[in-house]
Structure 1
Amino acid sequence: MTDNSTNGSLQNTKDALYDNTQAAAGYVQNHPATQNVRQTVSNGPVAETVKDQHAKTTSEFQNLADSRAPPNQSTATGQPLTHYHSFFYNLLSWENPRATSIAFLSTVFFIFATRYLPALRWSFKILSYALGLTASAELAGKLVLGNGLARVIRPKKYYTIPRETLEASLEDVEQLINFFVIEFQRILFAENVTATAAAFFAALISYWLIKFTPLWGLTLIATSTLYLTPLIYKSNKEFIDAHLENASNVVNSQANQMKDLTAHHVGRYSETAKQYAGDYTAKAQNYIGGARGRSTSPETSNSTPANAPLKSEPGDAPAYQPSDFPHAPKQEPTSGVTSHQEQYQNSEFGGQAQPAT
């Protein structure tokens, strides 16, 4: 009996408090001062400006979302690009300035938040407060009222991620990963020389900056460069294009001059090489002709008679006759030892061996 009366008094107090709160809110809402402020805020110039900017921002974000479509352009290997190529091009080209500005400022704020705000510790703190509050409410309700209070805030059905949403999210993640993979390969294999050169300088500068710049600072510099470079180019397009055209003309003229100079020197070297080759070829032919003439001379000498006298040219050494040379001995010597004098007498040109005196 006591529990029922206590529950009834609590319910009456609760209903009375709710009615008084609603009555006070209605009085404040219907007060003339409140109506005047509402009219001023809703229909004043500030409100019109806010509504106009809100509508434009919403439209630009919608255009940015609609730009996520695969472009008609393909890679050098013929592979189709992802829809993130169109999305990031639309975002970084400042075609929707309000959406790009919000994205840039949000990225910068996130970098500073991860650097200076203990977001992870705060997340665990908020989670602990929420879990402690629900647990305390449930225990207090069961002890005082006999029923837990957590079921009051508990939803009728727990939220689940639909399968279609999950599959679309996974497909979107796949497209994002493939965007970075494809772009890295296109830059690495110089599909666009300008982009490859810019990536080279960015990597070189990052190599030196990372020695004394923290990671968050390097990320902030990269983000600012990525967002602000297209904006600077878009704001000064004519001036930058004129200077780039002049630089291109200077480089092309220097390249043509070097090409002509190289062709001139190559022509001279080629002519010199041909001249030396002709000289060496003529000398080689002369040497080959002389060698062939000497190889045919024994046949000519064999055609002459054996006892024909040799002819000598003026100024040449005197020719010798066969009779000028000694005859070979026809008999063996009688004694085993021949004196030196006998050998000398036998070696006389055209004479017979004489006995020694």
Structure 2
Amino acid sequence: MAETQNPSVLETTKANAAAAYNSVTSGPVAQNVKNHTAQASSELNNLAAARKTPNEPAATGQPLTHYHSFFHELLSWKNPRASAIALVSILSAIFAARYLDITRWSLKLAWISLFSTVTAEIVGKFVLNNGLATQIRPRRYYTVSRETIDGLVGDVHELVNFVVIEAQRILFVENVFASLSAAIVSFIGYHLTKLVPYWGLALLGTVLAFALPLIYVTNKELIDHHLKNASDVVEAQTSQVRNVAQKQAEQVSAIGKQYAGDYTGKVQEMLRGKGAATAETSEDTSQTSATYAEKGPANPIAFPKTPTAEPGLPDAPTEEPKTAADVPAPSVPSEPVLPNKDEPLIS
């Protein structure tokens, strides 16, 4: 009985395991997983196929890169599963770079692998006269094809150009909303660097880059309605300010023209008055000259006589001064004058 019961129990166990496997693999949960996997694979293919050069060029007429359409497709959540996979992958990479010592683990994996292959080779040669690493060596080493390298270099080149072009489009305000958003993000990031580490900024930036477009896509009608209202209000205020400024400019211009006309009239009157006075003066002068030439002076001018000697001052000499030739020379004695002999020279 025991021998007949053992096969039945084994067969029952196998049958139950097969039924459980079939229920799991063909059940609704498994079918749902298969459907999501197929849809995710299809969306990833669509995202890869979206790498095409956009038809709309930049403001300068230059063609854009295929990464413009790629990131637009990725961040717009047109393929939600592919966008979610990209978001989770980027966040995982940030956390791994922050909390996992990848460099140390890579070196550890390298020395373990090398010591394992070297040990297997040496032990195989001593025991089996043939190294074990030699047995698992491939017949031809793997290489990277030139097409792969060219494609990789081309992708890197396109990515670099994407970053450079977008930076210039933002800097030179090709899109006012994008440039304003970048300015606000830069201002907030500058102040957050004092409080948040760089990996935290990268995490926050990634979440915002994927979350903001998703919020806009989800509430597109409401956001567009409020943006339109805000645009209308700004346009109305701008038009009002423009009209007021135009009226003020016209008034200032009219006042300026009026003052300019007044001052111009006054200057012309002053110039005319000076010209008339000059003409009258010249006419009077010419008439006076003609009258003087014909009749002589009407009132002859009496020149003052030579003043006489005033009291208290000596009279002016009437004779001419005498020169040295007019003064007579003194008489010179013919004999020398000698002292009297009777008188002693010294008393």
1:253 maps to which residue? 236
User: Which residue number corresponds to residue 227 of structure 2?
Assistant: 244
> Partner letter of residue 226 of structure 1?
A
Alpha carbons of structure 1 residues 328 and 140: separation in structure 2 relative to 1, 3 Å: farther
Aligned length: 297
Deviation at 1:270, TM superposition (A): 1.2
TM score, norm. by length of structure 1 = 0.78
Give the residue type in structure 1 aligned to 2:282.
E
Aligned: 1:339 with 2:309: yes
Match of 1:276 among 233, 242, 259: 259
Q: Does 1:131 align with 2:107?
A: no
Matches for 1:185-204 after TM superposition, within 5 Å: 185-204=168-187
Match of 2:129 among 124, 146, 159: 146
Aligned-partner Cα distance in 1 for 2:75–2:228: 24
1:176 matched to 2:159? The reply is yes
AA in 2 matched with 1:238: E
Unpaired stretches in structure 1, ≥5 consecutive residues: 1-26, 310-320, 342-357
Between the aligned partners of 1:243 and 1:307, the Cα distance in structure 2 is: 95
User: Equivalents in 2 of 1:307, 1:56: separation in Å?
Assistant: 122
Q: Which has the larger Rg?
A: 2
Equivalent residue, structure 1, for 2:303: 327
Q: Say if 2:196 is the partner of 1:220.
A: no
SS at match of 1:121: helix
Tell me, in whole angstroms, the C-alpha distance in 1 between the residues paired with 2:310 and 2:203: 115
Out of 114, 119, 124, the residue aligned to residue 97 of structure 2 is 114
Give the stretch that moved more between structures: 145-154 or 99-108: 145-154
Provide the C-alpha distance between the structure 1 equivalents of 2:245 and 2:310, rounded to a whole number of angstroms: 82
Q: Distance in 1 between matches of 2:252 and 2:74?
A: 56
Which residue of the partner structure matches residue 87 of structure 2? 104
Structure 1 pair 222/40, CA: closer, same or farther in 2 (3 Å)?
same
> What SS does the corresponding residue of 1:104 show, helix, strand or coil?
helix
Q: Deviations along 1:295-354, whole A, 9 cap, x unmatched?
A: 323431233144849xxxxxxxxxxx853632388xxx7xxx96358xxxxxxxxxxxxx
**Partner SS for 1:303:** helix
Return 91-100 or 123-132, whichever deviates more.
123-132
Q: Secondary structure at the match of 1:323?
A: coil
Question: Using a 3 Å threshold, how does the CA distance of structure 1 residues 323 and 147 change in structure 2: closer, same or farther?
Answer: same
Unaligned residue ranges in structure 2 (runs of 5+): 1-9, 312-347
Q: Which moved more, 1:45-54 or 1:189-198?
A: 45-54
> For the residues of structure 1 that align with 2:226 and 2:237, how far apart are their CA atoms?
17
Query: What are the superposed Cα offsets for residues 178-204 of structure 1, whole Å, 9 maximum, x if unpaired?
Result: 011110011010011110000000100
SS of 2:287's equivalent in the other structure is coil
Question: C-alpha displacement at 1:102, in angstroms?
Answer: 0.8
Q: Does 1:50 align with 2:33?
A: yes
Q: Deviations over 1:195-244 (max 9, x none)?
A: 00000001000010011110000111110110000001111112211211
User: Superposition RMSD on alpha carbons, in Å?
Assistant: 2.3
What is the TM-score with the length of structure 2 in the denominator? 0.80
Structure-to-structure mapping, 1:69-108, within 5 angstroms = 69-108=52-91
Q: Which amino acid aligns with 2:309?
A: S
Q: 1:229 to 1:340 in 2, by over 3 A?
A: farther
Distance 2:277 2:116 in 1: 120
* Residues 306/69 of structure 1: CA separation in 2 closer, same or farther (3 Å cut): closer
Residue 323 of structure 2 is matched in structure 1 by none
Deviation digits for residues 255-303 of structure 1 (CA, Å, limit 9, x no counterpart): 1111111112112111111111111010000111122223323431233
**Equivalent position amino acid for 1:217 in 2:** G
Task: Name 2:345's counterpart in structure 1.
Answer: none
Q: Tell me the equivalent position of 1:167.
A: 150
The letter of the residue matching 2:110 is L
